[in-house]
């Protein structure tokens, strides 16, 4: 009986650890619309929250617990309105980018490209609209 209880406890711990560390806080990905001329920003990520429309000056963010195995990764697509003809697809978060338990990634949509800031560092332009997937830094 004691062995069965120990096995069940260990199994429960393994399942909860593989699903993330929500109890320790969460990592966050933010998308900020700093486009001009009242353009909407459409964001679609593989986080199961569906398509999000972000108005000028507003942000969309989602938080999550990282996998203990550092395998958490989210890919996203951003399109700028009004006709959403300019777009870019990219990896918005990868657990290997940060050593912090609560990593923060911020993506900023501007007319001249998409900027990235991690863990409070100044934003740098990483992508062009409709351009190559990653600018050389």
In the predicted model, is pLDDT for residue 20 greater than 60? no
What are the two backbone dihedrals, phi and then psi, of residue 85, each rounded to the nearest 5 degrees? -85, -15
| DSSP H or E segment with residue 29 | strand 27-33
In the predicted model, is pLDDT for residue 19 greater than 90? no
Q: No. of H helices and E strands in the chain?
A: 1, 9
pLDDT value at position 103? 87
Q: How far is residue 104's CA from residue 116's CA, in Å, rounded to a whole number?
A: 11
Q: How far is residue 42's CA from residue 51's CA, in Å, rounded to a whole number?
A: 7
Q: How far is residue 58's CA from residue 32's CA, in Å, rounded to a whole number?
A: 6
pLDDT value at position 11? 53
Q: Are 101 and 66 contacting, i.e. CB atoms less than 8 angstroms apart? A: yes
pLDDT band with cut points at 50, 70 and 90 for residue 85: very high
In the predicted model, is pLDDT for residue 1 greater than 90? no
* Residue 135 CB coordination number (10 Å): 14
Q: Are 10 and 3 contacting, i.e. CB atoms less than 8 angstroms apart? A: no
Instruction: Name all domains of the chain by residue range, CATH numbers in brackets.
Output: 25-128 (2.60.40)
Q: How far is residue 102's CA from residue 12's CA, in Å, rounded to a whole number?
A: 23
Average pLDDT over residues 29-38: 96
pLDDT value at position 23? 41
pTM score: 0.79
pLDDT band with cut points at 50, 70 and 90 for residue 12: low
Q: Are 20 and 67 contacting, i.e. CB atoms less than 8 angstroms apart? A: yes
Average pLDDT over residues 74-85: 94
* 3-state SS class at 99: coil
């Amino acid at each position: 009986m004691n062995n069965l209880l120990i096995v069940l406890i260990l199994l429960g711990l393994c399942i909860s650890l593989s699903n993330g560390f929500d109890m320790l806080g969460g990592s966050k990905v933010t998308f900020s619309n700093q486009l001009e001329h009242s353009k909407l920003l459409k964001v679609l990520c593989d986080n199961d929250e569906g398509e999000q429309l972000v108005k000028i000056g507003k942000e969309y963010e989602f938080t999550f617990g990282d996998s203990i195995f550092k395998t958490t990764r989210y890919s996203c697509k951003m399109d700028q309105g009004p006709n959403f003809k300019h777009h870019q697809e990219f990896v918005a978060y990868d657990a290997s980018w940060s050593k912090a338990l609560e990593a923060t990634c911020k993506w900023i949509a501007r007319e001249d490209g998409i900027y990235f800031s991690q863990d409070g560092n100044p934003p740098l332009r990483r992508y062009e609209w409709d351009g190559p997937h990653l600018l050389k830094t």
